[in-house]
Homo-oligomer: A and B are copies of this chain.
Amino acid sequence: MAGNSFGQLFRVTTAGESHGPANVCIVDGVPPGLELSEADLLADLKRRRPGQSKITTQRQEEDQPRILSGVFEGKTTGTAIAILIENQDQRSGDYTDIKDKYRPGHADYTFDAKYGFRDYRGGGRSSARETTARVAAGAIAKKLLARDCGVRIVGYVRQVGPIIAAIPDPAAVTLAQVEANVVRCPDAQAAEKMIALIEQVRGEQDSIGGVAELVATSVPPGWGEPVFDKLKADLGKAMFSLPAVLGVEFGSGFASASLRGSENNDYFTTADGKIVTSTNRHGGMLGGISSGMPIVLRCAVKPTSSLSRPQPTVTCAGQPTTIATKGRHDPCLLPRFVPMGEAMLALVLADHYLRHRAQCPRK
């Protein structure tokens, strides 16, 4: 179905390069009557944008979205919503080196191998700049989910390098806690250490990886479809479609490999007249269908590949050389990853919300 679209009923299609004139997004299938303005998109775009704090890239982008269609008198009409986000800080001069060399860890080589050539300006289509479009679309999904189902989506940084935050209850973390510091970690003590580490690695012309945790609460039971479009399958795809994600896990995740069934199973019980599980090692889905418990997932995000120190590589012709990326890159991707991950979580949930009510409308 062509790789620049995502979702079945709540469907996003994006286009745009890092240093082209604009990024564009068409969101199809949004129910009519949802109040929507550009301000609704701006909140998350600001959380994603470069230059937002001392520990992110200092590149400046306004990321001002413009809704071109699908909204009339302040409400969605049910027809396709087009969003335009013009690129401003392009400084193409910074990127001439990557025309002839393959940056380690980037898609320069694979794009050349696939297409025969590439738009080398700032990574072109492989740049994370395309995630602006996702974040804008995700803001619409969040609004729909909140209005119709009370779903609340919060992401935060769980780990940076060896520093792991203590999060007693993922479902209790609030947006305010997350936004209380520039690294977006609700554990204030860990956050301080993370920030110090990020500044240190930048000083050492290096970068550092980490883990983001994403949580959706108040998701009703029943979303997701057997057998291929399990909710966890579509969430897995969504997260791995984001740049730099090398791992995804739900609930007990990789830790479950070391556990026995008697240790890993969650037991059903009741609370407030509803069937729930007393623990949530399953991460909110059973058989790939939401259980009503909070959806909890983690993404492993690799350390930024661009380093300002010289790294060995080859030219496009295969000759050994070195490359050093000139400044303005995030020493750690995690703080800006949080809104991207939230957006993808929201998009999957909105899609499965519509899919579920198509087949199984509430009586």
Contacts of A240 in B (CB 8 A): 230, 232-233, 235-237, 248, 250, 288
Bound together, the chains give a CA A230 to CA B79 distance in angstroms of: 13
Chain B residue numbers with a CB within 8 Å of A255 are 300
Q: A29-37, A53-61, A179-187: which lies at the B interface?
A: A29-37
Closest residue of chain B to A162, judged by CB?
B258
Q: Verify A110–B221 contact, CB threshold 8 A.
A: yes
Question: In the assembly, what is the distance between CA of A74 and CA of B230, in Å?
Answer: 26
Q: Chain B residues with Cβ under 8 A from A256's Cβ?
A: 209, 246-247, 300-303
Indicate which residue in B104, B116, B261 contacts A265 across the interface (CB closer than 8 Å). B104
With the chains together, A258 CA to B209 CA distance in Å? 6
B207 lies within 8 A of A3 (CB): no
Does A227 belong to the interface (CB within 8 Å)? yes
Q: Judge whether B24 and A68 touch: CB under 8 Å.
A: yes
| CA gap between A291 and B108 in the complex, in Å | 10
A5-B5, A16-B68 given as contacts; is B283 within 8 A of A246 (CB)?
yes
Q: In the bound complex, how far is the Cα of B282 from the Cα of A247, in angstroms? A: 11
CA distance A290 to B110 in the complex (A): 7
- Whether A77 contacts B261 in the complex (CB less than 8 A), given A15-B82, A256-B303, A287-B106, comes out as no
Complex interface residues of chain A between 263 and 303 (CB less than 8 A to chain B): 263-270, 273, 275, 277, 282-283, 285-292, 300-303
A228-B241, A246-B252, A264-B302 known; A275 vs B221 contact (CB < 8 Å): no
- A267 near B20 with CB under 8 A, answer no
Q: Write out the residue numbers on chain B whose beta carbons fall within 8 Å of the beta carbon of A246.
A: 249-254, 256, 283
Q: Does A65 make an interface contact (CB < 8 A)?
A: no
CB < 8 Å neighbour of A360 from B5, B78, B209, B220 = B78
Residue of B21, B206, B253, B265 near A105 (CB, 8 A) is B265
Indicate if A229 sits at the interface (CB-CB under 8 A). Answer: yes
**A93 proximity list for chain B (CB < 8 A):** none
A82 to chain B, nearest CB (A): 4
Contact: A31 with B254, CB < 8 Å? no
Known: A115-B78, A116-B360, A233-B240. A72 touches B124 (CB 8 A): yes
Query: Assuming A78-B359, A226-B126, A236-B248, is B318 touching A275 (CB within 8 A)?
Result: yes
